[in-house]
Chain A
Amino acid sequence: MKRILRVENLSIEFHDHALAEKVVTDLNLDIFEGEIVGLVGESGSGKSLTAMAAAGLLSRHDIKKSGIIDFDGTDMLSAERAELRKVQGNKLSVIFQEPMTSLNPLKKIGWQVEESMKIHMPEMTASERKNRALEVLLQVELKEPERVYNSYPHQLSGGMRQRVMIAAAMAITPKLLIADEPTTALDVTVQMEIIELLKDIRKTYGTSILFISHDLSLVSILCDRVAVMKNGVIVESGNVREIFDFPKHEYTKKLIASIPVVEL
């Protein structure tokens, strides 16, 4: 299997205060083609920051980064913005946690789903773009895609918006989808639907997914491999089943023990 993302010895330091603050230390992570990898940890453990770095979003000058992030041949840590732009929205897409603020409130859904096509495939005609947009909207199981296409974000529910986000991310069929807590803001039944949807997407497109969450039960359903993060360090990683059945690190054991068990 081909390796899509290689993170080696990644360290991230904040220099926005007098005292430098190390938030990610010597992190190693690989994602292979068609694989779903979970990155689990409590808030503040550096998991989202790692994802942002992998997406090439950490360009602030008060952040010091070292190590290697190699995404399909592009160095995401030090590449120029122009080079990153060729990758972002083309080979790599991101979904955020908050579907309420992730969409531009003033633009129609169709416009936003088509954005990455407009940027990366200028040769597509308007009607081709629309067809593709309707196709992905249907794929994320939105009923009446035509109506959603012409809606504004405030006319949709949270779950529908998250589906729209996924549709927008998949419009151009990326090789890697980074999902940063995509289900955290949703209620439990919708969470499961989104998880199923991500599985379908992998099946249809063979897209690799980096799934970031603090919810181990979701990770156990969705992911092939998982890495557990605490205080900027990966404390344990491996096959999901192994980690769940034989956790080695104290923190992992605690996390697993904290999954609520419903007894009826």
Chain B
Amino acid sequence: MKKTEKHNYNLILGIVLTAIVLIPAVIGIFYTPYDTESMNLALKMASPSFSHPMGCDNYGRDIFSRIMKGSSITFLIGVGTVFWGSLIGTLVGAFTAYYGGVVDEILMRVNDVIFSFPSLLLALVFVAILGPGTYQVLFALAIAFIPSYARVVRGEFLRQKSMDYVQLARLAGAKDLRIMFVHILPNIRKVLISSILIGFNNAVLAEAGLSFLGIGVSPPKASLGSMLSDAQTYLFSKPELALFPGLTIIIMVLGISLISKEVA
């Protein structure tokens, strides 16, 4: 994994960029300088100042606080989506590749059907059924993300399964679960880790997209996407309303993709 010193600039930059967004996001879970949901007419559309470094929005809410809270929600949705998506996807991919046969055919054809819809569209359908909200978005995105993980893991498992060391593990008398998760799984970790990081980025963008369309995290709760959505009305009169949440998304995604490039 470690290359030469020279190549690690990408990794360092990625970690720094991610940290810039992540540290306020983590703090935002427990504490924000101002309340993120109560409105204050006196501060409507206030310009950036010392007490409100990024200004205030059309309801007089502090944008910096809302970005802290919003990126923590976005981040939690990203992590949750990737966690469930990759967990279930890995199980599906591992079992179908290892056992093959009818189960493989059925699960992978179902997979193909889900896969043939764009994941954002699929998430849209689920949200339409379940209604908007943080957990609904998480659930919808997780389901939409399972097929891509299942596919990646299945391909890698098939490749490893044909290797002699797997045959020998069978011949040592190892049980199937032990072969799958003790012998094979560690060998596909690189592919898995990078697809988890890329998946996280896609989840962040998908959440922003859903909230931008107004069907993601419901107001008055803040998420990066819903802030962008609210800001579009004032795009010409007050562009910084869109600028800061947009920049936050860009930095978060860029940072994670730099990291994923280096660890893979």
Contact = CB atoms under 8 A, between A and B. Distances in A.
A228 to B, nearest CB: 26
Interface string B178-211: 1000010011000000000000000000000000
Contact of B172 (A105, A107, A116): A116
B167 interface: yes
Interface residues of B, number: 17
B2 to A, nearest CB: 15
Contact of A96 (B167, B173, B174, B183): B167
A88 B170 contact: yes
Nearest to B163: A101
Contact of A115 (B101, B163, B169): B169
A168 B171 CA distance: 11
B171 A93 contact: yes
Contact of A89 (B163, B164, B171, B186): B171
Contact of A85 (B163, B167, B173): B173
B174 to A, nearest CB: 6
Nearest to A84: B173
A61 B187 CA distance: 27
A98 B164 contact: yes
Contact of B171 (A55, A86, A101, A107): A55
A119 B186 contact: no
Interface string A103-122: 11111000000011001100
Nearest to A119: B173
A116 B165 contact: no
A89 B167 CA distance: 12
B43 to A, nearest CB: 57
A101 B165 contact: yes
Residue in B163, B164, B171, B175 whose Cβ sees the most chain A Cβ within 10 Å: B171
B162 to A, nearest CB: 9
A104 B165 contact: yes
B206 to A, nearest CB: 33
B174 A115 contact: yes
Given A106-B186, A106-B187, A101 B172 contact: no
A64 B215 CA distance: 56
A90 interface: yes
Contact of B164 (A92, A101, A119): A101
Nearest to B165: A104
A96 B101 contact: no
B20 interface: no
Contacts of A103: 165
Nearest to A87: B173
Contacts of A86: 173
Contacts of B187: 104-106
Residue in B172, B178, B186 whose Cβ sees the most chain A Cβ within 10 Å: B172
Contacts of B163: 101
Contacts of A243: none
A66 interface: no
A43 interface: no
Contacts of B173: 85-90, 116, 119-120
Interface string B74-101: 0000000000000000000000000001
Contacts of B174: 85, 89, 115, 119
B189 to A, nearest CB: 8
Contacts of A90: 173
B29 interface: no
B168 interface: yes
Nearest to B174: A119
Contacts of A107: 183, 186
Interface of B: 101, 163-165, 167-175, 178, 183, 186-187
25 contacts: A57-B167, A57-B170, A57-B171, A61-B101, A85-B173, A85-B174, A86-B173, A87-B173, A89-B171, A90-B173, A92-B171, A93-B172, A96-B168, A98-B164, A101-B165, A102-B164, A102-B165, A104-B183, A115-B172, A115-B174, A116-B172, A119-B172, A119-B174, A165-B168, A168-B168
Interface of A: 55, 57, 61, 85-90, 92-94, 96, 98, 101-107, 115-116, 119-120, 165, 168
Q: 8 nearest interchain CB pairs?
A: A89-B173, A89-B172, A102-B164, A116-B172, A104-B165, A85-B173, A88-B173, A101-B164
Given A55-B171, A102-B168, 19 more contacts: A57-B167, A61-B101, A85-B174, A88-B170, A88-B172, A88-B173, A89-B172, A94-B171, A96-B167, A101-B163, A101-B165, A103-B165, A104-B183, A105-B187, A107-B186, A115-B169, A115-B174, A119-B173, A168-B168
